[in-house]
Amino acid sequence: MASLVKGIFDKTPKVKGTVVLMQKNVLDINELTAAQSPGGIIGGAIGAIGGIAGSILDTATSFLGRSVALKLISATSADASGKGIVGKETFLEGILTSLPTLGDKQSAFAIHFEWDTKNGIPGAFYIRNYMQGEFFLVSLSLDDVPNVGTINFVCNSWIYNFKNYKTDRIFFANKTYLPSATPAPLVYYRQEELKTLRGDGTGERKEYERIYDYDVYNDLGEPDKKATLARPVLGGSSTLPYPRRGRTGRKPTSKDPKSESRSDVVYLPRDEAFGHVKSSDFLVYILKSASQNIVPQLRSVVTLQLNNPEFNTFEDVRSLYDGGIKLPTDILSQISPIPLFKELFRSDGESALKFPPPKVIQVDHSAWMTDAEFAREMIAGVNPHIIKKLLEFPPKSKLDSQLYGDNTSTITKENLEPNLDGVTVEQAIQNNRLYILDHHDTLFPYLRKINATETKAYATRTILFLQNDGTLKPLAIELSKPHPQGDSFGPVSNVYLPASEGVEASIWLLAKAFVIVNDSCYHQLVSHWLNTHAVVEPFIIATNRHLSVVHPIHKLLLPHYRDTMNINALARNVLVNAEGIIESTFLWGGYALEMSAVVYKDWVFTEQGLPNDLIKRGVAVEDAASPYGVRLLIEDYPYAADGLEIWAAIKSWVGEYVNFYYNSDAAVAQDSELQAFWKELVEVGHGDLKNATWWFKMQTRAELIEASTILIWIASALHAAVNFGQYPYGGYILNRPTKSRRFMPEKGSPEYDELAKNYEKAYLRTITPKNDTLTDLTIIEVLSRHASDEQYLGERIEGDIWTSDSQPKEAYKRFAKKLAEIEQKLTQRNNDETLRNRTGPVNMPYTLLYPSSEEGLTFRGIPNSISI
């Protein structure tokens, strides 16, 4: 009765709202990865996936009553302290079932706020979760707000029980403000939220926290387990500099106080573990499962039960895709219920495990062996941005001659000129026709250590000639190893020349394999891990610590950060850790990440953008008359030609966006949040390189546009170019071997005789063995896939409500339209038979920079972010 009377006399105006959320059990990846059962992680995960359906029956009604409360905060009316007025606590009401915009697995609730018109316009809200479990808050929308209409709040955040938080969780409307333009009543709330995200830098982080902070890479080894698992700290020194990772605050190890102890679950700021809607989309989870369960089982089957640890013929390798490997049924039964593995390891009723045939052999089994394809993959393969123009002859080294002797190349003009179509070396250099794939200086200082293990390697240099038909032809390969008397004596080098008959042809095939092994390692540890995954993480941390969610640059960059810290944390746990997948299956072994740290010394942010990269490598020159200000010297260079189209589209979009929010260079220089972000990124996030003179000063719109374009390029197109071709090219281990196990055979040796009699067997005994091949294929097959809820360049997960400003939204739509036009243009290029590098001998059109893709293993598609 009392409430009825109150209702009659309560004339406070109401604002109607809709809250959209998702229950934890629908999409929490941690539930799956933590699940354990008698079946191990795979069995436990299956149970967890099965349990999801049942627990959804614990319906959305649990959110009603006094479970979830919201309070509006005014953006226009302040209390006595100058802070926006906070409204009354209001609870969720009825469940809405007919909302047309509702996403899969989402639940919508009505809510009615008491909100006096004198409180002004809501610009933020507090939310409290009074339940024990967390949920994922998608959005709040307010309807029919006086003088405004609809106000949207994009949230996409996990909400835990309120007792876990020191300050109430707050969300802002989708307005966009530079710090100086923030409505006065919201200034306090904007600043407080950033303080919360920065934390105080102490203690071990908890699962529910959202704190972003920095640390060095000191969690790769496990010195307490055994001495051989100790690894040096990367970052914080001039000898082994490194980008920073997210801080977890775990305890130091006993044996090395500078190293951090490891754990199965690695802390991530909670919203970085975004959550996916379908169990089959848990590619990160699948990767973890594969690493911890499937790979060891495969290795034991091959080693113990099949008693056949080597491939003997190339046909044996191809049988992985044709007949498969016979497996005990108990292993298949553990693997196959997981949705992805049903497809990944197709069982044909005979308990055979089969891999999908890699694209590189789908048309022709042996075209990979040609010199033309070997060279083409340097400009259209999975590592297409390493080749450089040859500027001097013979090629020189930058290594310290006092330590390593004279490392000048031993390749001579006499080696090259018979195959230069009648021109001299000098003329070929002058006419931009000589190029080099140089894997000498990175490797040579570590060769003695690497060769002391079961692997055997060379530093390599490969010289190529640009022919009249636009294709590249390899002319010579130099293989160098350390001098037996010591490094200071310089290398012992041999030069190998192309051959097509007899044992010389087999020697040449092996020489190319040594080059590709080096290229595979450099690709995985530098091009892929360091230059995309690792260098982006400090940007994510600095953005969240200093750029408010209502800051225009936060909104610009946010799509390009999705899932990156998540996959990086997983990589530190199972991929790049001591004796993890990479160390176990790639040549660099236990020195892998340490070697990438040496390469990072020469990393230059301003050279990561495509035009500057091409100019630096000498494969393009500045040319105002050319479409994008640069002219390619290798005209038919698929990665560069397609990349320039994508680069220009990104830069045009970023330029429109930045110029909308910043009307002058002074506005950039005076943006307090932007300046704090950039200062900390340079001095802490990439702090080992803070004294470099090439860093942007971040004082002009031009600098902000270029820096943002470079970052988006790295996270989207560059990562796509080096990631999604891994299985299509490397799934056939003969084409992209990851290890070399013995040296080049010398005349008169048993190995040489074997090579003369059976080159396939000799080749297979030299490259990656069967066990490592199965490990490698299992992992890169997952890494090369797209999830079904992938967000591609030109798309946003928030749809059209990511900002309330119409001009940026229209500019973004133009960007998406431009990308679709580019895709058509690239398709036409692939149909142009005069562009011979587009498809090559393997008849495999270059599609890695097509912006769009379906889910799965597609060899195309540019996701917004580094999510796998």
Active-site amino acid positions: 528, 533, 719, 723, 868
Distance CA 352, CA 350 (A): 5
Of 398, 397, 399, nearest to 408 by C-alpha is 397
Of 825, 831, 830, 823, nearest to 850 by C-alpha is 823
Cβ neighbours around 772 below 10 Å, total: 20
Distance CA 293, CA 36 (A): 12
Tokens 């006096």 correspond to what residue? 116
Distance CA 583, CA 575 (A): 8
Distance CA 457, CA 47 (A): 45
Cβ neighbours around 236 below 10 Å, total: 16
Cβ neighbours around 50 below 10 Å, total: 12
Instruction: Provide the 8-state DSSP code for 409.
Output: -
- Per DSSP, the residues of 164-213 read G-SS-EEEE-S----GGGS-HHHHHHHHHHHHHHH--S-S---TT-----
Distance CA 835, CA 828 (A): 11
Q: Are 450 and 588 in contact (CB under 8 A)?
A: yes
Q: Are 849 and 719 in contact (CB under 8 A)?
A: no
Residues, the chain, total? 868
Q: How far is CA 777 from CA 308, 512, 664, 769, 861, in A?
A: 18, 21, 52, 12, 21
Residues ≥6 apart with Cβ < 8 Å to 139: 19, 20, 152, 153, 154, 155, 156, 801
Distance CA 467, CA 122 (A): 66
What 3-state DSSP class applies to 419? helix
Q: For residue 176, report the phi and psi dihedrals to the nearest 5 degrees.
A: -125, 125
Examine residue 394 and say whether the peptide bond preceding it is cis (omega within 30 degrees of 0). yes
SS (H, E, C) 349-398: CCCEEECCCCHHHCCCCCHHHCHHHHHHHHHHCCCCCCCEECCCCCCCCC
Q: Are 360 and 382 in contact (CB under 8 A)?
A: no
